[in-house]
């Protein structure tokens, strides 16, 4: 594979000059998908969310490829319609070029309100890639808790108060839910591990049938970290095993990165303002859950 | 050669879809529309259409996929009823705003609750401000004819708006009637090849579809959409004239039945017009100057034309198969009354809400309405504006 420096020189479908916040990792996710899609014609679908509102404020657009936004919960159904049109028009000889179809949605638009639409599109087997940029809350509307928000996180609808210590539930395991659709390819990625990311994205784009990528995309506003530290947040999530990197290809689970030394979850939690209120007991509870999840994943991947 | 066949409304709509041969159909089952999807899927399974058939997991996704397909330059269709249309609601508006020429038969059924599968117009009336053109059908023949014209209207370069073709659930959708269907090649030639103005599948001209439009541009988008609806009427009539050439059947914005010299009349949508025509004939035989106006095009609302056709009446009843629950009137009455007021007509008007949830509307029910109108015409006074027909009070 080319170096990151070389890939960054490719004609990427998301231009610079978009209006995402400084320190937001979502555009990095998009640009890494674009690096993987280099040389291919792409149509992008986008759920309502930060990425959509900040990149297409009329009359401007940051998208160099064709792009469609429909609503919040229907990016998967919308891109499946685009893909169906492509198949029909290609069959009739009305479209000659080859196209790839990539949908982006945040975790709110994917784990929660868009789950049905996504499940339907995956079950129907459209030749699409759905990428969730997971920042762990409804960041666009002002940091409300979602099904992807980690336990104990302080959000505006799970505020850490005197009685309730932030979010009281664990995260939904969306990647496993997508795997349960028996799709040919599903993976978890983090932009801190760019080579792993781009390799998986290429597989997802080129596989025949639906593919799902869950990409960690830290949010400086919601997580409360310094804007320069977005990629470091990714690295901490991966090295603490809070966000393991793995892929499931035709039902076969494979760990693609194993930290040499598993760092304590406290390293991740203490780096962010949203976990500032955590007691040692809460950190311990968090550590035990991550340990259980990690062991289960190692088993699934034949590593334990 | 056109062919006379015995056919149900759903069969006729499905047949029209087969002849139109859309690029993409995305649909979901709901009574009483389900048959359309079922019949169409047999066309797909037997290779009789070239359509990419997307069996979505909900009506919300049916409309979402239709939007995606139409934006990608496909001729896209879906079909629905009642709660299905309600579930689509959000995306129905987006389809119109994006100016996508999607055609959707709506097999009219009562909205929940309580849940009910039978005919009324609460579903399509709920979408009356969504920016879609609405064509209404009296019978199977009109449902078929409206489907074929809808494609041309929606895709007209000066219109570019989605079209609903409304047909009464069960009464039209499931009833066998004689209808004349056109040969495939005649339909194909009439609708022509679809050449989209813009498509996502043109790498030389990438488009950003559905961007964020704030205070400085949203209003202009909506104004352009309103203008398309304002300008649609002559194009709907132009398509109707061309359709008459291939079918021999004339369509306008509405049908005026024995209205010219009438003193009392009703405005009605859908299958009830057939029942009411029988009543008009009977009353005419008794020397009563009764007439009726069956509205075909509810969106755009032909306000001036309606007022011109109705303004000479002494008394008029507007029949609504949907209630607005606004403590005033049904939706068709409110708009007809506004049109009449603007025209300066002196016609006395009443509103009848009827047939909700499939409540049968018989000849005697319609006769009661005309009887009421005759009393109003004679006295020159409206005793009660809002009336409910055929309900136990």
State yes or no: ipTM above 0.90: yes
pLDDT tops 80 at residue A256: yes
Q: Into how many domains does chain A fold?
A: 1
Say yes or no: B148 and B268 in one domain: no
* Three-class DSSP category at B1: coil
Pick from B183, B215, B247: which residue ends a domain? B247
> What residue of B is the nearest CA neighbor of A41?
B203
Q: Select from A57, A67, A81 the residue whose CB has the most chain B CBs within 10 Å, as the one to mutate to test that interface.
A: A81
- pLDDT bin (cut points 50, 70, 90) of residue A2 is confident
Nearest to A124 among B24, B54, B211 (CB): B54
> What residue of A is the nearest CA neighbor of B90?
A71
- Among residues B70, B66, B63, B57, the alpha carbon closest in space to that of B28 is found at B57
pLDDT tops 90 at residue A250: yes
Mean pLDDT computed over every residue of chain A:
97
The proportion of chain A whose per-residue pLDDT surpasses 70, expressed as a percent, equals 100
Residues of B in contact with A57 (CB under 8 A): 211-212, 214
Say yes or no: B164 and B292 in one domain: no
Say yes or no: B195 and B332 in one domain: no
Q: What is the pLDDT of residues A11-50, one digit of tens each?
A: 899 999 999 999 999 999 999 999 999 999 999 999 999 9
pLDDT tops 80 at residue A1: no
- For residue B178, what is the domain's CATH number? 3.40.50.970
Q: Select from B41, B49, B61, B89 the residue whose CB has the most chain A CBs within 10 Å, as the one to mutate to test that interface.
A: B61
Q: What is the pLDDT of residues B135-180, one digit of tens each?
A: 999 999 999 999 999 999 999 999 999 999 999 999 999 999 999 9
Task: Over range B56-67, report the average pLDDT.
Answer: 98
Pick from B247, B280, B306: which residue ends a domain? B247
Say yes or no: B185 and B332 in one domain: no
- pLDDT bin (cut points 50, 70, 90) of residue B363 is very high
Say yes or no: B163 and B23 in one domain: yes
Buried b (16+ CB within 10 A) or exposed e, A20-51: beebbbbbbbbbbbbbbbbebbbbbbbbbbbb
pTM: 0.98
Say yes or no: B142 and B207 in one domain: yes
How high is the pLDDT of residue B98?
97
* Distance (Å) from the alpha carbon of B52 to chain A's nearest alpha carbon: 6
Say yes or no: B125 and B165 in one domain: yes
B318 token code pair: 């507007």
B interface with A, Cβ–Cβ below 8 Å:
23-24, 26, 50-52, 54-58, 60-61, 64-74, 76, 90-91, 94, 200-203, 206-214, 217
Domain span at residue A291?
4-300
pLDDT tops 90 at residue B1: no
Task: Over range A241-257, report the average pLDDT.
Answer: 98
Say yes or no: B72 and B128 in one domain: yes
How high is the pLDDT of residue A8?
87
Q: What is the pLDDT of residues B189-208, one digit of tens each?
A: 999 999 999 999 999 999 99
Spatial contact of A265 and A287, defined as CB atoms under 8 Å apart: yes
Say yes or no: B264 and B154 in one domain: no
pLDDT tops 80 at residue A103: yes
Task: Over range A118-134, report the average pLDDT.
Answer: 98
> What residue of A is the nearest CA neighbor of B57?
A120
> Cα angle vertex A214, ends A212, A218, to 5°?
155
Domain span at residue B187?
3-247
Q: What torsion do the CA atoms of A177, A181, A187, A191 make, to the nearest 10 degrees? A: -60
How high is the pLDDT of residue A304?
82
Contact B66 A81 (CB under 8 A): yes
Nearest to B61 among A86, A88, A120 (CB): A120
Pick from B223, B247, B271: which residue ends a domain? B247
Mean pLDDT computed over every residue of chain B:
98
Contact B50 A43 (CB under 8 A): no
Q: Select from A49, A72, A75, A84 the residue whose CB has the most chain B CBs within 10 Å, as the one to mutate to test that interface.
A: A84
**Tokens 């916040």 appear where?**
A21
- pLDDT bin (cut points 50, 70, 90) of residue B53 is very high
Nearest to A81 among B24, B50, B55 (CB): B24
Tell me the CA distances in angstroms from B249 to A13, B103, B179, B245, one per residue in order: 51, 21, 12, 8
Say yes or no: B198 and B154 in one domain: yes
How high is the pLDDT of residue B308?
98
Say yes or no: B215 and B272 in one domain: no
Q: What is the pLDDT of residues A165-196, one digit of tens each?
A: 999 999 999 999 999 999 999 999 999 999 99
- Among residues B343, B354, B253, the alpha carbon closest in space to that of B295 is found at B253
Residues of A in contact with B207 (CB under 8 A): 66-67
- For residue A219, what is the domain's CATH number? 3.40.50.970
Distance spanning both ends of chain B, measured CA to CA? 52
Residues of B in contact with A116 (CB under 8 A): 57-58, 60-61
- pLDDT bin (cut points 50, 70, 90) of residue A3 is very high
- For residue B269, what is the domain's CATH number? 3.40.50.920
Which 3-state string (H, E, C) describes chain A? CCCHHHHHCCCCCECCCCCCCCCCCHHHHHHHHHHHCCCCCEEEEECCCHHHHHHCECCCCCECCEEEECCCCCHHHHHHHHHHHHHHHHHCCCCCCCCEEEEEEEHHHHHHCCHHHHHHHHHHCCCCEEEEEECCCECCCCCECCCCCCCCCCCCCCCECCCCECCCCCCCCHHHHHHCCCCCEEEEECCCCHHHHHHHHHHHHHCCCCEEEEEECCCHHHHHCCHHHHHHHHHHHHHCCCCCCEEEECCEEEECCCCCCCCCHHHHHCCCHHHCCCCHHHHHHHHHHHHHHHHHHHHHCCCC
Q: What is the pLDDT of residues B208-267, one digit of tens each?
A: 999 999 999 999 999 999 999 999 999 999 999 999 999 999 999 999 999 999 999 999
Q: Into how many domains does chain B fold?
A: 2
Number of A–B residue contacts, CB under 8 Å: 161
Task: Over range A221-239, report the average pLDDT.
Answer: 98
Contact A57 B201 (CB under 8 A): no
Residues of B in contact with A81 (CB under 8 A): 24, 26, 54, 64-72, 76
Nearest to A88 among B74, B200, B202 (CB): B74
How high is the pLDDT of residue B109?
98
CA distance B33 to B22: 18
Say yes or no: B40 and B164 in one domain: yes
Contact B64 A97 (CB under 8 A): no
């Amino acid at each position: 594979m080319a170096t990151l420096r070389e890939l960054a020189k490719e004609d990427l479908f998301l231009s610079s000059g978009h209006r995402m916040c400084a320190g937001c990792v979502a555009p990095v996710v998009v640009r890494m998908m674009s690096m993987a899609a280099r040389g291919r014609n792409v149509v992008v679908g986008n759920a309502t969310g930060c990425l959509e509102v900040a990149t297409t404020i009329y009359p401007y657009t940051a998208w160099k490829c064709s792009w469609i936004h429909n609503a919040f919960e229907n990016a998967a159904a919308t891109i499946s319609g685009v893909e169906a049109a492509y198949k029909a028009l290609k069959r009739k000889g009305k479209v000659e070029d080859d196209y790839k179809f990539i949908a982006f949605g945040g975790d709110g638009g994917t784990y929660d309100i868009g789950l049905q639409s996504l499940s339907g599109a995956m079950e129907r087997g459209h030749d699409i890639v759905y990428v969730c940029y997971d920042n762990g809350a409804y960041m666009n509307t002002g940091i409300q808790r979602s099904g992807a928000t980690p336990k104990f996180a302080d959000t505006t609808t799970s505020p850490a108060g005197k009685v309730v210590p932030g979010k009281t539930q664990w995260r939904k395991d969306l990647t496993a839910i997508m795997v349960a659709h028996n799709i040919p390819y599903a993976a978890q990625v983090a932009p801190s591990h760019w080579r792993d990311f781009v390799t998986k994205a290429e597989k997802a784009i080129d596989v025949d049938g639906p593919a799902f990528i869950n990409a960690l995309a830290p949010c400086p506003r919601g997580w409360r970290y310094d804007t320069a530290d977005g990629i470091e947040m990714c690295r901490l999530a991966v090295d603490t095993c809070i966000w393991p990197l793995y892929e499931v290809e035709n039902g076969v689970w494979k760990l693609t990165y194993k930290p040499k030394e598993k760092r304590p979850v406290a390293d991740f939690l203490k780096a962010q303002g949203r976990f500032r209120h955590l007691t040692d007991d809460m950190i311990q509870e968090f550590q035990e859950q991550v340990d259980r999840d990690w062991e289960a994943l190692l088993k699934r991947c034949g590593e334990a | 050669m056109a062919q006379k066949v015995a056919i149900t409304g759903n069969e006729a709509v499905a047949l029209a879809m087969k002849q139109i041969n859309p690029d993409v159909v995305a649909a979901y089952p709901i009574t009483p529309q389900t048959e359309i999807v079922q019949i169409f899927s047999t066309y797909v399974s037997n290779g009789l259409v070239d359509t990419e058939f997307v069996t979505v997991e909900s009506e919300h996704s049916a409309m979402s996929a239709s939007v995606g397909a139409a934006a990608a330059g496909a001729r896209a269709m879906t079909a629905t009823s009642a709660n299905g249309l309600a579930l689509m609601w959000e995306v129905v508006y987006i389809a119109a705003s994006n100016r996508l020429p999607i055609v959707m038969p709506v097999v009219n059924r009562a909205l929940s609750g309580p849940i009910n599968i039978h005919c009324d117009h609460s579903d399509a009336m709920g979408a009356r401000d969504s920016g879609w053109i609405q064509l209404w059908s009296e019978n199977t023949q009109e449902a078929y004819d409206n489907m074929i014209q809808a494609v041309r209207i929606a895709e007209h370069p000066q219109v570019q708006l989605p079209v609903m073709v409304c047909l009464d659930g069960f009464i039209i959708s499931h009833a066998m009637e004689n209808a004349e269907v056109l040969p495939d090649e005649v339909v194909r030639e009439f609708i022509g090849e679809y050449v989209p103005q813009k498509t996502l599948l043109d790498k030389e001209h990438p488009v950003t579809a559905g961007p964020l439009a704030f205070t400085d541009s949203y209003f202009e988008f909506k104004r352009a959409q309103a203008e398309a609806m304002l300008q649609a009427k002559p194009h709907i009539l132009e398509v109707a004239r061309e359709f008459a050439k291939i079918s021999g059947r004339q369509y306008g914005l509405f049908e005026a039945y024995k209205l010219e010299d009438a003193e009392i009349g009703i405005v009605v949508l859908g299958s009830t017009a057939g029942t009411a025509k029988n009543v008009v004939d009977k009353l005419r035989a008794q020397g009563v100057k009764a007439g009726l106006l069956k509205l075909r095009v509810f969106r755009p609302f032909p306000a001036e034309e309606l007022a011109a056709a109705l303004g000479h009446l002494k008394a008029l009843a507007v029949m609504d198969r949907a209630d607005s629950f606004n403590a005033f009137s049904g939706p068709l009455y409110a708009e007809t009354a506004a049109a009449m007021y603007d025209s300066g007509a002196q016609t006395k008007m009443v509103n009848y809400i009827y047939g909700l949830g499939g409540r049968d509307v018989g000849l005697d029910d319609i006769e009661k309405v005309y009887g009421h109108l005759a009393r109003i015409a004679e006295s020159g006074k409206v005793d009660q504006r809002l009336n409910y027909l055929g309900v136990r009070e």
